[in-house]
Amino acid sequence: MTIERVGIVGAGQMGNGIAHVFALAGYEVLLTDISGDALIAAVALIDRNLDRQVGKGLIEPLEKAEAMARIGTTQTLTDLGQTDLIIEAATERETVKQAIFDDLVPHLKPDTILTSNTSSISITRLAARTDRPERFMGFHFMNPVPIMQLVELIRGIATDEPTFKTCEAVVAKLGKTSTASEDFPAFIVNRILMPMINEAIYTLYEGVGSVQSIDTSLKLGANHPMGPLELADFIGLDTCLAIMNVLHDGLADTKYRPCPLLTKYVEAGWLGRKTQRGFYDYRGDVPVPTR
């Protein structure tokens, strides 16, 4: 299958990064969001991030200009129907993703490949609601997309080999590395990462250590580039909670029970960097622990 035009659903943190790397790799990109302001902000952010790459000598000014020219935007979801590959990067809620695919399917070309950037939701279940489960798979980028080198490719039970091979070739053209994961809750990265973050929150909840001591211990004691609580804030505490709930519900093991403190922070609307407060308060010049 030849992929030339790529549709991306959602202009948030993940969607704009995905649009960035596809446009830079030579693909025509159509980015959609229900919010016109979100689309404007996404294009402006892509422009700034490409400028950074130019400033660092990673790309030439002409490459940046050509990439920006390949990015189109629309608030009409069904405009993506004529693209070759669609990557859904909307909110990590299954009902939202299902509604998007329900709306898209009647307008798709017969050979369009559907994918989801979900970090934890069943690919098989999402695919089963479409008319093309054999041409549906998980296409999970890491955040921030322009920097992180990994893409998890997740086959649903019906995903066929040509679809997998096509997506594998796309990842290679992006200059990234793919890994293949089976369709079990949270796949590989988050199956391992999120319980670690959840355990760090339990460590805080039980008073074993403070925010600062926990993050410092993991950075210096395990050589992690970010502490687990700092990383949770970066990911978004609502996303962390959603993934832990998927693991807990899907695997029925108490070791995946979300920490009550994580639930409390989400209830407070303290979701991390995106709301300026989480395990750190980001409203000043320097992040300050909130516990």
Residues with active-site annotation: 119, 140, 152, 190
Rounded-to-integer distance, Cα 53 and Cα 59, Å: 6
Phi-psi group of 6: left, alpha or beta (phi > 0 → left; psi -120 to 50 → alpha; rest → beta)? beta
Q: What length does the chain have?
A: 291
Rounded-to-integer distance, Cα 203 and Cα 24, Å: 42
- Would you say 197 and 272 are in contact if contact means Cβ atoms under 8 Å apart? no
Q: How wide is the angle at C-alpha 258 spanned by C-alphas 256 and 260, nearest 5°? A: 145
Please tell me whether residue 31 adopts helix, strand or coil conformation.
strand
- Would you say 98 and 127 are in contact if contact means Cβ atoms under 8 Å apart? no
In 113-220 the beta strands, taken as DSSP E runs, fall at: 113-116, 136-141, 150-155, 177-181
Give CA 59 to chain center in angstroms.
24
Return the closest-CA partner of residue 10 out of 20, 2, 22, 19: 19
